[in-house]
Amino acid sequence: MRPYITLTLSILFLILAKQAHAADSLMIHSAWIPEMPPVSRVHAGFASFHNASDEDIEITAVSSADYASIEMHLSKQVDDMARMIPQKSLIVQANQMMTLKNGGYHLMLFKPQRKLIAGDSVRLTLELSDGKKQSFNATVKKSSEENNHQHHHH
């Protein structure tokens, strides 16, 4: 009986340790929201997700107190038309960097709950497929600002 219990506990510990590790393995870099005119009811959100673990990480939902709802989209060219296709989840592959960008995967943030201007910070929360949540800040920036910034790096 006893060796069996020990073995079960060891396995359980390994599983828990692995899950804890997985949740800490998603790093979020340079999250930003292009500043929009105050009348705009929908904003875009961009970031880089770095999965430093050996297992895929699935983002199943995104939320923020600053928006009524948030969707994950993929921009695609369909018959010469630019379409945005809602995604049920985003998968950040093991040991990969996924960069949300214009014309690719991005966040769509609906109905801002307050006036958001360049320099403001928005708290976003990701929900992962294992039930864990991970929060991060996105900075509101003028689009031109970010373009200049990116230009600098190249």
Alpha-carbon distances, residue 39 vs 15, 36, 112, 141 (angstroms): 49, 8, 10, 17
Alpha-carbon distances, residue 1 vs 7, 90, 139 (angstroms): 10, 44, 56
Rounded least distance, CB 106 to Cu ion, Å: 6
Rounded least distance, CB 118 to Cu ion, Å: 21
Q: Which residue of 108, 127, 136, 143 would you call a contact of Cu ion, by CB under 5 A?
A: 108
Structure tokens at 99: 């960069």
Helix (H) or strand (E) holding 93: none
Rounded least distance, CB 52 to Cu ion, Å: 27
Site string for Cu ion, 61-90 (x = CB under 5 A): ------------x----------x------
- Asked if 50 is part of the footprint of Cu ion (rule: CB under 5 A), the reply reads no
Helices of type H across the chain: 2-24, 143-153
Instruction: Tell me which residue of 103, 104, 112 sits closest to 42, measured CA to CA.
Output: 112
Piece of 28-36, 57-65, 87-95, 100-108 that binds Cu ion (CB under 5 A): 100-108
Site of interaction with Cu ion (CB under 5 A): 73, 84, 108
